[in-house]
Chain A
């Protein structure tokens, strides 16, 4: 039978036929938690009377969401997580190492892996062809103990990309456009599978941005097929041996096929308070902003910082707009320093935060005040997301955020690039 990528991976890992709609029990390659979901995972693990992890070397704890901790309760949660890592012998990434999804991409994910994380943006590593999906603390606790979990094999949507990115238009604009088209629940329980003639021009950094936001259309995964870009990404990180390419079958059965002509796209925004409330930047420009935030698992990578460093070189942030930048990982930060991006950004007036989730989810490092407006490269703009229900968040590409930081209002980046 011809298979989608989702059916292929779940079939291989469950040793079954795995057709869309089937319930399968699949082996888990990597299971992880972060610091806001990990403590509950550990308590559920202990409540189940589990004594050990199925594979400690495949279990990972990330301290990234509240890192460094802004409150004693969160510091105590960090202690709990560090102790668990020590007792169980699993991996742990410390404050300042970076965002879980970025580190999973850099160090662990390979095509065909099954990755479950107690974080909804676990879908990010679909960029590498891993069946990576978010779950809650109980599910991850059981996956950590048993080394497996159950899945309903999803139906797939094929998203076919054609054409090239116009100047000033990036992966973020593409995925925002797509979410606006599909809707926030348009792909609930489904797999998004990306294909089309443009793939060879879509970098791994862009793929990570696109897969990252599959969940904002409700999807369970956002999968890219394997190619030279996948292989090069792994090889450059010393993991070329893990390249076991996977593609959907030519006759695979898709529930929907959605063509996207990238060359027709323009810079896009998500307006408050819904990710699928999408409009072209050109229709919204002029809205005054008090905070501009660049970073997160959606857009905190080297390529993103390269774009904004180029735009902000010899420019200054608007005096009424603070600019906050958090690289996605230690490696991204080191490379950005080496390339001179960080100097350009600091000279332009940016506050550089340590690698981590930073201001994204309203815990620390950029909580908004009453009535304030932030333009952000993050992936969510729900009411209260950045720590204050009386604030508003617009989502955009790094270029749009940088252009807006310079002008102090929502600005089309094509004025600068």
Chain B
């Protein structure tokens, strides 16, 4: 089961972070060696990202996060880097679904209200983000119930192992 209260620090990124930014095609030969692949997460778009993340930190980015390829390795390596959730203005469709399928929360909210390094506390049940640095509280838009259910089980594979089928 997923932790429903998350605490961590914001690491800010810009708009239109593509899955090629998250894990470039030139590392395709490492896709069956995830620990090695994860060392290269966001290597070009945010140099030093992998060494900067502390367990539980959040990616806070702009619009259309995760656009491009369907490679599920993108949310996999973000999760492996220690990121606890991704907060964005909007997320590309396939990435959004892939992240939830990996048990990695993607929350849609007004990320302009969060600065780099801000301490955040997130209540996943209520969809509330408390910015402990600024005192501002943000609410995030709801995802379809089936996605919440998959996220609560920590991803699609545990969800299917438990339910054997999709439950609407």
Contacts and interface: CB of A to CB of B under 8 A. Distances in A.
Q: Do A and B bind each other?
A: yes
B166 A25 contact: yes
Contact of B157 (A25, A47, A134): A47
A286 interface: no
Given A73-B32, A139-B97, A189-B93, A49 B71 contact: no
Contacts of B144: 23, 152
Nearest to A69: B29
Contacts of B39: none
Contacts of A117: 70
B44 A383 contact: yes
A142 to B, nearest CB: 6
Nearest to B63: A185
Interface in A324-381: 361-363, 367, 380
Interface residues of A, number: 58
Nearest to B20: A382
Interface string A44-72: 10011100000000000000011000111
A138 B93 contact: no
Contacts of B31: 36, 39-40, 77
B52 interface: no
Given A39-B32, A74-B28, A363-B28, A185 B90 contact: yes
Contacts of A146: 160, 165-166
Interface string B7-40: 0000000001010110011101111110000000
A109 B135 CA distance: 54
B20 A385 contact: yes
A73 B146 CA distance: 36
B25 A184 contact: no
A140 to B, nearest CB: 9
Contacts of A265: none
Contacts of A387: 24-26
Contacts of A189: 93
B156 interface: yes
A121 to B, nearest CB: 9
A204 to B, nearest CB: 24
B101 A139 contact: yes
A372 to B, nearest CB: 14
B105 interface: no
Interface in A133-163: 134-139, 141-142, 145-146, 148-150, 152
A110 B60 CA distance: 41
Given A23-B144, A47-B157, A138 B29 contact: no
B24 A148 contact: no
B64 A188 contact: yes
Interface in A268-295: 274
Nearest to A190: B93
Contacts of A361: 25, 28, 69
A264 to B, nearest CB: 28
B81 interface: no
A384 B72 contact: no
B125 interface: no
B70 A25 contact: no
Contacts of B24: 362, 384, 387, 389
B25 A384 contact: yes
A119 interface: yes
Contacts of A8: none
Contacts of A218: 64, 67, 92-93
A185 B94 contact: no
Nearest to B23: A384
A220 interface: yes
Contact of A184 (B67, B70, B71, B97): B67
Interface of A: 23, 25, 36-37, 39-40, 44, 47-49, 65-66, 70-74, 76-77, 80, 117-120, 122, 134-139, 141-142, 145-146, 148-150, 152, 184-185, 188-189, 218, 220, 274, 361-363, 367, 380, 382-385, 387-389
30 contacts: A37-B70, A37-B72, A44-B156, A72-B29, A119-B69, A135-B70, A136-B72, A136-B98, A137-B72, A138-B72, A149-B166, A150-B146, A184-B67, A185-B16, A185-B67, A185-B90, A188-B90, A189-B93, A218-B92, A220-B93, A361-B25, A362-B28, A363-B29, A380-B20, A382-B20, A383-B20, A383-B45, A384-B44, A385-B20, A385-B25
